[in-house]
Structure 1
Amino acid sequence: MILAPEGSSSGKLRIPAAQERDAGTYTCRAVNELGDASAEIQLAVGYAPQLMELPRDVTVELGRSALLACRATGRPPPMVTWRRGDGQPLGLRLEAGRGSRSRQPDSGVLFFESVAPEDQAPYVCEARNVFGKVQAEARLIVTGHAPPQIASSAPTVRVLEGQPVSLPCIVLAGRPLPERHWLKDRQPLPPGSRHSIRADGSLHLDRALQEHAGRYSCVATNTAGSQHRDVELVVQVPPRIHPTATHHITNEGVPASLPCVASGVPTPTITWTKETNALTSRGPHYNVSKEGTLLIAQPSAQDAGVYVCTATNTVGFSSQEMRLSVNTKPRIHMNGSRNADVPLRVTAKAGEEVTLDCEAKGSPAPLVTWMKDSRPVPPITNRHGLLPSGSLRLAQVQVGDSGHYECTASNPAGSTSRHYVFGVQASECPPRGPSEPLLPPLPSTRHFVHL
């Protein structure tokens, strides 16, 4: 029992240089003539934490276990905790299906079951009790991880439309094991694009279509880095000639064009032939445009016929026949080099049968019509008729048949005419005066036509 000095009202107990043996329960009691009162005080004697073993830097291979130890003493016994020195959270980590756990047993040991590259960091151990705290730092260094490495392959893959194709993506190295995914034109592969990823990482298409053509990228990624390889997929398509008219008609001298629109991959080359004869792409008469159209600047009758357009590329060819018809302007057959613009004079005697020639040729066959004194001549009457050749036959001509006759041959390419001045002499001539001629004098080119 310790008594306070008489007359003191403080009652404070001072223990200099407290020791562990001073710990315990102390009772303060106050007494006077009226009675007494007491109170208990618990005294705990301890000290701030001290590290018994400083944590050391640890180097560990990727995927193996590791621990960082931190042991401390103190009274009361300190609580030891760990945290990352870079501010990142410490605890359960799950990434892409891989589990890696770190935990802190009560012993103050930080344990890693399977070290990953991201576990590499400084770690801080802290021991704390009511009298204070102490800290120490150690580093976890992870070795053995490597970025992905993808095998080189052909930069371009060609496949025929409709055939299967695989784009390789072989990973040669990488730790941890890299994950692979594919991009098309720098975008994720669209769903439902009829592709599959095989076990070796290759991208497989069961049936390549034109829409599948483009630049593909295989991307391999792990925690140590990433790498990608690009490959251009070319879907080759045999030439196809788009449907168009197979019969073309033009007039003589009017430029004609025969279209040949073709598609394919690679772009097909267009060639033209006429009756097995190859036509030059650029010449004075024929010219082939960049689009494959055959241009004929001045078509004539010799240009009519069957033409063949052929589209060719490295995977095939396609051909299409086209027929060109050239309408030629009618031409009326004339003997010698007589000028067609000068009327031909013809004289016959009354009662004779006369044929006025008008044999016309052209393509298509021209239609022949006749005019007499600017009036149409009916094709058939009781005394004259139109022959198949186009000539006009006059039976038992009369003086009234005399006049100016015009034969016209026409077709879509144009028309041409021949003119006759036809005179009929009466069978018996009446007496005439000394100055009255029988008929006007005829030029030397006149002739009589008899059937």
Structure 2
Amino acid sequence: MGCCRRALRHALAGLLLALLSPGSSAADFGHLPDNITVLEGESVVLRCKIDEEVTHKAWLNRSNILFTGRDKWSLDKRVSLINSNTSHFSIQIDQVQVADEGPYTCTFQANNKPRIAHVYLIVQVPARIVNISRDVSVNEGDNVNLFCLAVGRPEPTVTWKDQKYGLVSEGEFLDITEIRRQQGEDFECITNNGVAPPDTRKVKVTVNYAPSITDVKNMPAQLGKMAVLRCEAMAVPTAAFEWYRDERRPVEGDSTLRIKNEKTRSLLLFNNVTEKHFGNYTCLAYNRLGASNASMLLFRPGAVYGRGTGHHVGVFSAGVAVMISFSVSLLSM
């Protein structure tokens, strides 16, 4: 019996392949759509409507026979026969894979005439990012090269968007030449192919630069009162601060003064101003990339600071100090 069954299968397979060969005279019928689209991982049903008296019927994928009647030929457990009667002959494919994409054929013989219906299964895969640059830290003036690789069916688009200015760049690669400190931010990669919501990921770009003193405050002070000198600096990494009296002597040794450092500024606090406190003070802001300094005055109310005192802004880089001095005069009332 086994030999007869195998012989019957081979004979049927030969008949089916002959019917589907280019020279076949079999007529198509329109009970299947031309294309069926399904997402990867989902299930799909291929329905074949039969409206005539049938003697033989089969489902094929390309030249591979899946079913002949109720007899399953496919070894794939994901493929099952869900309907086989006088009016319908349908199969289901579970957990659809990209490899399942392609042509499928329902064929049957009715009234001694072969009937064939074709359908093409299209498998779509949502766009997703599979590899992206790590967060980077660079020095101002360096070149930055970011990448974002994505997959999907149909082929997805890849777009870079900066979060600060909303500028958009198309393509997997984002190149920034001689990056400036203002460009330090999150850059978002967006990939989309219209199958599912876009997939997005971000890369943080940190731009390091030497301190730049942005604000200083000269302070009129009254004897016996409190006073504050303020020094603000922008830098990445965050600047550290030091204070000097007359640009030479650190103030840390003076118990009558207190330094309060915050994230981007330093305060020199005078709890009880005396005569010895009046004069010139220098704030130094520094990090591993360089330094900047500025001088300011603690003076008596009503005094006009001008020629005779120095207001200095210095930048130190690679051991070289450049000092720009603005000379003004001090006229005592």
Normalising to structure 2: TM-score of the pair?
0.52
Deviation at 1:236, TM superposition (A): 2.0
Change (3 A) 1:269 1:321: same
- Which residue of structure 2 aligns with residue 279 of structure 1? 167
Alignment partner for residue 410 of structure 1, among 287, 312, 320?
287
Separation in structure 1 between the aligned mates of residue 166 and residue 255 of structure 2, nearest angstrom: 57
**Structure 2 unaligned residues grouped into runs of 5+:** 10-14, 16-23, 67-73, 217-227, 277-281, 296-309, 311-324
Separation in structure 2 between the aligned mates of residue 213 and residue 195 of structure 1, nearest angstrom: 10
- Note if 1:167 corresponds to 2:46: yes
Report the structure number with the largest CA radius of gyration.
1
Structure with the larger strand share: 2
1:264-303 equivalent positions in 2, closer than 5 A: 264-275=152-163, 278-281=166-169, 288-289=170-171, 291=172, 293-303=173-183
1:174-193 equivalent positions in 2, closer than 5 A: 177-183=55-61, 186-187=63-64, 191-193=75-77
| 2:241 and 2:283 in contact (8 A); partners too | no
| 2:131 and 2:150 in contact (8 A); partners too | no
1:208-247 equivalent positions in 2, closer than 5 A: 208-218=95-105, 220=107, 231-242=119-130
Separation in structure 2 between the aligned mates of residue 230 and residue 264 of structure 1, nearest angstrom: 26
Separation in structure 2 between the aligned mates of residue 365 and residue 447 of structure 1, nearest angstrom: 34
Deviation at 1:259, TM superposition (A): 4.7
Deviation at 1:410, TM superposition (A): 1.3
1:15-30 equivalent positions in 2, closer than 5 A: none
- Which residue of structure 2 aligns with residue 332 of structure 1? 213
Equivalent residue of 2:142, what SS?
coil
Residues 44-71 of structure 1 deviation map (CA, whole Å, 9 limit, x = unaligned): xxxxxxxxxxxxxxxxxxxxxxxxxxxx
Equivalent residue of 2:179, what SS?
coil
- Which residue of structure 2 aligns with residue 320 of structure 1? 200
| 2:147 and 2:174 in contact (8 A); partners too | yes
Separation in structure 1 between the aligned mates of residue 45 and residue 120 of structure 2, nearest angstrom: 12
Change (3 A) 1:419 1:315: closer
Separation in structure 1 between the aligned mates of residue 166 and residue 134 of structure 2, nearest angstrom: 19
Change (3 A) 1:254 1:379: farther
Residues 314-346 of structure 1 deviation map (CA, whole Å, 9 limit, x = unaligned): 2221353635443343113589xxxxxxxxxxx
Normalising to structure 1: TM-score of the pair?
0.41
In the alignment, residue 92 of structure 2 is paired with which amino acid? H
In the alignment, residue 60 of structure 2 is paired with which amino acid? W
In the alignment, residue 254 of structure 1 is paired with which amino acid? D
- Which residue of structure 2 aligns with residue 96 of structure 1? 8
In the alignment, residue 296 of structure 1 is paired with which amino acid? I
Separation in structure 2 between the aligned mates of residue 95 and residue 294 of structure 1, nearest angstrom: 62
1:8-157 equivalent positions in 2, closer than 5 A: 96=8, 148-152=26-30, 153-157=32-36
Separation in structure 2 between the aligned mates of residue 149 and residue 173 of structure 1, nearest angstrom: 14
In the alignment, residue 216 of structure 1 is paired with which amino acid? P
RMSD: 5.7
In the alignment, residue 313 of structure 1 is paired with which amino acid? N
Structure with the larger helix share: 2
1:323-402 equivalent positions in 2, closer than 5 A: 323-333=204-214, 359-368=232-241, 380=253, 388=261, 389=265
- Which residue of structure 2 aligns with residue 254 of structure 1? 142
Separation in structure 1 between the aligned mates of residue 108 and residue 177 of structure 2, nearest angstrom: 63
In the alignment, residue 176 of structure 2 is paired with which amino acid? I
Separation in structure 2 between the aligned mates of residue 320 and residue 269 of structure 1, nearest angstrom: 12
Deviation at 1:218, TM superposition (A): 2.4
Separation in structure 2 between the aligned mates of residue 187 and residue 376 of structure 1, nearest angstrom: 91
| 1:274 and 1:307 in contact (8 A); partners too | yes
Separation in structure 1 between the aligned mates of residue 252 and residue 156 of structure 2, nearest angstrom: 56
| 1:380 and 1:386 in contact (8 A); partners too | no
Separation in structure 2 between the aligned mates of residue 268 and residue 446 of structure 1, nearest angstrom: 64
| 2:211 and 2:292 in contact (8 A); partners too | no
Residues 92-134 of structure 1 deviation map (CA, whole Å, 9 limit, x = unaligned): 9x9639xxxxxxxxxxxxxxxxxxx9xxxxxxxxxxxxxxxxx
Deviation at 1:195, TM superposition (A): 1.2
- Which residue of structure 2 aligns with residue 39 of structure 1? none
Larger relative contact order, structure 1 or 2 (CA cutoff 8 Å, min sep 6)? 2
Equivalent residue of 1:316, what SS?
coil
Separation in structure 2 between the aligned mates of residue 360 and residue 301 of structure 1, nearest angstrom: 14
**Structure 1 unaligned residues grouped into runs of 5+:** 1-91, 98-116, 118-145, 282-287, 336-354, 398-404, 421-441
Separation in structure 2 between the aligned mates of residue 211 and residue 193 of structure 1, nearest angstrom: 16
Separation in structure 2 between the aligned mates of residue 209 and residue 229 of structure 1, nearest angstrom: 21
- Which residue of structure 2 aligns with residue 203 of structure 1? 91
Residues 383-415 of structure 1 deviation map (CA, whole Å, 9 limit, x = unaligned): 877663458899998xxxxxxx9946115xx21
Deviation at 1:158, TM superposition (A): 0.8
Separation in structure 2 between the aligned mates of residue 216 and residue 363 of structure 1, nearest angstrom: 59
- Which residue of structure 2 aligns with residue 108 of structure 1? none
Residues 253-279 of structure 1 deviation map (CA, whole Å, 9 limit, x = unaligned): 333455544433223323344459642
